[in-house]
Amino acid sequence: MGFDKFGRKSFTSFTKTGKFVDLLAEGKVEGTVCKQCGAKYFPPRADCAKCLSKDMDWFELPKKGTLETFTTAMYAPFGFEADAPYTMAVVDFGAGVKAFARLAKDFSDPKIGMDVTVRPLKYDDGQITFEIAKA
Amino acid sequence: MAKDVAVIGVGQTYFVRGYEGSIRELAFEAFREAMQDANLTTKDVDASVFCSAPEYDKQRSPAGVLAEYLGLVPQPTFYVETVCSSSTVGVKIGYSMIKAGLHDIVVVLGFQKMSEITSAESQERMGRGGDIQWEAPFGTMMPAYYALYAQAYLAKNGLTLDDLRDVRVKAATYGQINERAVYRKGVKPEDFDPNNPDAKMAGPVASPLRVGDCCANADGASCIILANAEKAKIFSKKPVWILGIGAASEVVNMASRPDFSKGIQVAKAAANVAYKMAGVGPKDINVAEVHDCFTIAEIMAYEGLGFAPEGDGKQLIREKATYKEGKIPVNVDGGLLSKGHPIGATGGSQIRTIVLQLRDEAGPMQVKDPQIGLNHNIGGVGLYGNVTIFGRD
């Protein structure tokens, strides 16, 4: 279902976690949690790698995490050229939950360890993603 | 330290930009050299393994086509892929087939003709060696992935941009004396100076990595011929024995990785297995080839292999300990940075360098009297880790 709408350009059309895109449209960035063993996953998974259960629920990412690392790409791969330069980063929410995304375009002077949050982002062409902003 | 499987022949093409021939002709060059090295005819070969990263070639299932061109039909053949570590994994599989008694002599051939697509297309394909569902939609590429590690190292481990620069200067020292390398020029510290208008290495690629921190794409092929002990004694005056093989995998998504300032975990896991199997430790290694696709990767390799304590890899480059005359020479053939990185051929090229070193045939790159050598070959962004340990007869 509709996963080709995810990101600047999606390489995957169908996934059982396609609801992620609908949740983004509702303003939520969510991962999945295993109903059997409680393992949390971000990005979301439809199946649990720890106990092999298929019974998963959604959970909202914490509001605040810390910037673990980042890089500003001066060149972009094929299909992303118009966006360069852009900064990609990893956010650590603690308890083993992290997220990888771009920093918001207006995110100035990123520093490792600073407080950040993630939020949905809609592009003009209808694509939808999430980005990292200052908390 | 069992001596059951030996390398009896090695071959490698010149690594070049824009090879003027097809992949089968490229493969033939490395194969012919290795066959002559081992003094074999095609009838002596029992099986072949071909290794590359898919998507660069228009040819689907290349093993059959290449086996035919090398005269290795009707012997069994197949294809193996772990992106940048494909041909080291090919050697591992060849080792396993011989050890299992299936075959006596196996040819492992790694190849890549990267120049068939543009640099931007190449970046996109390599970026898709990461997670295409959750990461590629952000516009990822290999330099950016490794830059995430580099940034964490700069912030937490006291690593400096000058340390990274000095890894590149070392690589170029040896790239200049390796006639098979794609980048034959020297690199000076001032080439990284952002205030120097002629600084060819200073341009930003993915912060903090600069042009000079990144390896060069190249076309090339490598060939490693393996034999059991009986055949090794017949065909080789200087067999080089495989003493230890270690391999490991890591989660692909950056969001699932442990602390970035602690480096790439697969190298440690693979090294532990290889050291244990060989019955040796980091201090016993006399010459090493590590996967320096980016300068930061070499620093992380020093730590992953136990040549330096965790977080302290920078000391080895500061002390010049990894130069040819140092206590642990690393990448004295120019490494991926200067020799070039034709993805599928890289592991075999590293292994060829170690074999030549252990046979005292490395020419101007020769390290003094090495007994034990190691290759460290990483596929993807620390996705597949492979460490192999070799010893002389």
Residue B316 above 80 pLDDT?
Answer: yes
Q: Tell if the CB–CB gap between A90 and B141 is shorter than 8 Å.
A: no
**Cα separation, B274 vs A48, whole angstroms:** 31
pLDDT, tens only, A32-78: 999 999 999 999 999 999 999 999 999 999 999 999 999 999 998 88
DSSP calls for B87-110 = HHHHHHHHHHHHHTTS-SEEEEEE
Residues of chain B with pLDDT > 90: what percent?
A: 92
Instruction: State both tokens at B121.
Output: 């297309």
Q: How far apart are CA B7 and CA B84, in angstroms?
A: 21
Chain B residues within 8 Å of chain A (Cβ atoms): 118, 120-121, 123-124, 127-128, 131-141, 143-144, 147-152, 155-156, 203-209, 253-257, 259-260
Cα B150 from Cα A22, distance rounded (Å): 35
Average pLDDT over residues B10-39: 97
Digit-coded pLDDT (tens) for B183-230 = 999 999 999 999 998 899 999 999 999 999 999 889 999 999 999 999
Res B130: pLDDT? 84
Token pair recorded at residue A67: 């910037």
pLDDT score of A108 more than 60: yes
Q: What is the DSSP secondary structure assignment for residue B257, as one 8-state letter?
A: -
What are the boundaries of each domain within chain B? 5-117+217-235
* Percentage of chain A lying above the pLDDT 90 cut: 93
The ipTM is 0.97
What lies within 8 Å, CB to CB, of B277 at 6+ separation is: B243, B244, B245, B246, B389
Cβ <8 Å between B138 and A77: no
Q: How many CB atoms lie within 10 A of CB B204?
A: 17
Question: What confidence score (pLDDT) does residue A57 get?
Answer: 98
CA B292 distance to own-chain centroid: 8
Is it the case that residue B1 has pLDDT exceeding 70?
Answer: no
Measured CA to CA, the distance from residue A17 to residue A6 in angstroms comes to 11
Q: Is the pLDDT of residue B247 over 70?
A: yes
- What letter does residue B113 receive in the DSSP assignment? E
- A93 close to A122: Cβ distance less than 8 angstroms: no
Query: Nearest-CA neighbor of A100 among B145, B120, B383, B264?
Result: B145
Residues of chain A found within 8 Å of residue B141, distances taken between Cβ atoms = 73, 75-77
Q: Which residues does residue B9 pair with via DSSP β-bridges, in sequence order?
A: B225
- Among partner residues B127, B143, B152, which is closest to A112 by beta-carbon distance? B152
Contact B360, B366 (CB under 8 A): yes
Residues of B in contact with A73 (CB under 8 A): 139, 141, 143-144, 147, 205-206
Split at pLDDT 50, 70, 90, the class of B82 is very high
pLDDT at A1: 52
Taking only the tens place, the pLDDT of each residue in B4-21 is: 999 999 999 999 999 999
- Whether pLDDT at B118 is above 90: no
Contact A15 B133 (CB under 8 A): yes
Chain B hits for A74, CB-CB cut-off 8 Å, are 203-207
Rounded CA separation B23/B60 (Å): 12
B105 has a pLDDT exceeding 80: yes
Q: Determine whether B341 is an active site residue.
A: yes
Identify the CATH homologous superfamily for domain B5-117+217-235.
Thiolase/Chalcone synthase (3.40.47.10)
Q: Is the pTM of this model over 0.90?
A: yes
Choose among A11, A69, A76: nearest Cβ to B128. A11
CA distance A71 to chain B (A): 5
* pLDDT number for residue B123: 72
- How far apart (Å, rounded) are the C-alpha atoms in residues B296 and B298? 5
CB contact under 8 Å between B124 and A77, yes or no, is: yes
Catalytic site residue B291?
no
Rounded Cα distance between B381 and B82, Å, is 11
- Distance CA(B263)–CA(B146), nearest Å, equals 10
Residue B393: which pLDDT band, with cuts at 50, 70 and 90? confident
By the 8 A CB rule, do A112 and A67 touch?
yes
pLDDT of B169 > 90? The answer is yes
Instruction: Please state, as a whole number, how many other Cβ atoms lie within 10 Å of the Cβ of residue B269.
Output: 18
Residue A69 to residue B260, Cβ atoms within 8 A: yes
Distance CA B345, CA B84 (A): 8
* Paired strand residues for B109: B50, B223
**CB-CB contact of B42 with B31 (8 Å):** no
